[in-house]
Structure 1
């Protein structure tokens, strides 16, 4: 990181240069969503009439949320409480939309509720094993739709210019974000000790700042998420690990993109328990 001193502070200072200006957020997000949808449609026929509404909200404990409304429609909300960085556009477009939650819920309705008459699948129990797979596929779907080299090229050539950012900085920023992503499990430890009552709010926030490289405002928002959703936090990174290992174990590694899509989409269409994925991955 440029500068000297505390790494977390230097990272925050560096990252501020990659925030999407307020007036450009919508254009960047719509471009990202369109690209995610196009890549998803190349591998799966979505139900006729599927669509979603994009909204911008404030005062939420999360950065993005998909509210599935039935009839193959969703409302996708983006929280604008904090600056939105350029990498979050593809992250949220894929995770909440294509091939993430919107596609997952639409295929469940098409394949299970309407196709098989399994009406119980029209109810989604959020705090259940289903969410480990749902969040895991939504997170891993980012890499399925946009392998690293293709993601870098799209962000550099399309999203950076739309946001008014310097495309020449895209490669370095992409590499920094890849490395910071390896720290995500530090958030699980903060949640565990905070929710167990062994850490105070201040201690947990300090841990997130020092070990997950979150700024103070973002760390405080993460504590709001812990307070609201508690152990749900593990579904994101642990779920992604589980799904990645399963897909790779079924021959869907990066060198076989067609097989990767095939195995990934099978997870969206067919109900499975996390234990089945873990066993198959081994």
Structure 2
């Protein structure tokens, strides 16, 4: 029997809410960003949990009848396939991580060669001030040099507000933003993240900053642009205004975080600073408006090169996700993260908690692979138009893959080498 788009979207929302309810132990407490009808959420909250096998069958039923035009049907089918893969995993049907990533994220994930990380280390070596210590020690000294002193932590919200204003101003040169949008900064404790951008609806958003961690002011624009504009908050705001409010595309209020759209979102977040602060503009702005006012003297470092190298080193986390999926011990994962991602012992310990959390071994793959896909896709003369598409259209990883990609690449990239 044919279903209406509204009936289909209701079933889709219920499936997402039911899968999310079964995903206990996620690092964020949820794997779903839900802003849809509250009566649907209440229905799921008050019912008995649905068996995972039944949820997989419900996903199959949704895939069998998609009452939408082909482009939107293709996008929604990718989201449902992700929900189905997670439901199947919950029912005991586990796939190797590369196949699981293909089903959920729509990417060809593979073990990344350490030569890639060695290149990033070489770039970091050139970008950091000269020193006699190891590369890890020099990176940590650079971070410490630019860290906001603990007795000035009360200044951080104002510094974030200034960065939000500047990133919004530059983003508005690319795409129109609502003039009455508001973004507040909130310092939080006891959370597993450094920062998180949350669009709350009604043109209101909050940037949550972890007050328990030292804040590196050299990263201020890198963090604020990623979480805010033109990153997560801008994407959520613009798509809700354009897709939901204007076009009635309710599915954008039902965003499953282990699906392909978040590969695009995290890739955009990692490129956000360089989009609105090309070259050394971020470092120049920070030097003029933030660093000297907080007693931080200039050094010979290259902030943009440091951040690009750190983006590449998100690939280390992707490899660590493969190790975690294979059941390797924590000591091996921590050693790998320390060696290649240049993490301190404390940072590696925190990273283990993230990787072991429900769904995160899958989610972390989206950072590097999203960054790498967009690194190629945005390197064109029509970059600004493509940024606007990222902020206003529902795109899948397949939509931003290189056009000359050979089909056999998929087969080769699903294999990974054990270290």
CA–CA distance in structure 1, aligned partners of residues 233 and 343 of structure 2: 28
Give CA deviations for 1:131-179 in whole Å, capped at 9, x if unaligned.
Answer: 001111121121101112212211222221233200x316456555554
CA–CA distance in structure 2, aligned partners of residues 93 and 109 of structure 1: 20
Distance 1:145 1:213, change over 3 A: same
CA–CA distance in structure 1, aligned partners of residues 195 and 371 of structure 2: 17
* Structure 1 position 280, deviation (Å): 4.0
Partner residue, 1:267: 390
Partner residue, 1:140: 271
CA–CA distance in structure 2, aligned partners of residues 114 and 176 of structure 1: 39
- Identify which of 14, 17, 20 aligns with 2:145: 17
CA–CA distance in structure 2, aligned partners of residues 41 and 170 of structure 1: 32
Distance 1:172 1:99, change over 3 A: closer
Distance 1:111 1:173, change over 3 A: closer
Distance 1:127 1:181, change over 3 A: closer
Q: Determine if the alignment matches structure 1 residue 184 to structure 2 residue 307.
A: no
CA–CA distance in structure 2, aligned partners of residues 163 and 262 of structure 1: 37
Contact 2:311 2:371 in 1 (8 A): no
CA–CA distance in structure 2, aligned partners of residues 246 and 48 of structure 1: 30
Matches within 5 A, 1:178-257: 178-197=308-327, 199-228=328-357, 229-248=360-379, 251-252=380-381
Distance 1:280 1:62, change over 3 A: farther
Contact 1:135 1:235 in 2 (8 A): yes
Partner of 2:299, secondary structure, is helix
CA–CA distance in structure 1, aligned partners of residues 171 and 162 of structure 2: 14
Contact 1:246 1:280 in 2 (8 A): no
* Structure 1 position 238, deviation (Å): 1.4
CA–CA distance in structure 2, aligned partners of residues 281 and 266 of structure 1: 21
CA–CA distance in structure 2, aligned partners of residues 175 and 134 of structure 1: 22
Partner residue, 1:7: 135
CA–CA distance in structure 2, aligned partners of residues 137 and 173 of structure 1: 19
Distance 1:272 1:175, change over 3 A: closer
Deviates more, 1:126-135 or 1:49-58: 49-58
Larger radius of gyration: 2
Contact 2:280 2:303 in 1 (8 A): no
Structure 1 alignment gaps of length 5 or more: 253-258
Partner residue, 2:158: 27
* Structure 1 position 226, deviation (Å): 1.4
Partner of 1:140, secondary structure, is helix
CA–CA distance in structure 1, aligned partners of residues 200 and 401 of structure 2: 31
- Identify which of 142, 151, 155 aligns with 2:282: 151
CA–CA distance in structure 2, aligned partners of residues 189 and 264 of structure 1: 28
Partner of 1:127, secondary structure, is coil
Partner residue, 1:256: none
CA–CA distance in structure 2, aligned partners of residues 127 and 36 of structure 1: 28
* Structure 1 position 232, deviation (Å): 0.6
Partner of 2:401, secondary structure, is helix
The number of residue pairs the alignment matches comes to: 272
* Structure 1 position 90, deviation (Å): 0.6
- Identify which of 96, 100, 109 aligns with 2:227: 96
Partner of 1:214, secondary structure, is coil
CA–CA distance in structure 2, aligned partners of residues 72 and 14 of structure 1: 37
Structure 2 alignment gaps of length 5 or more: 1-128, 406-419
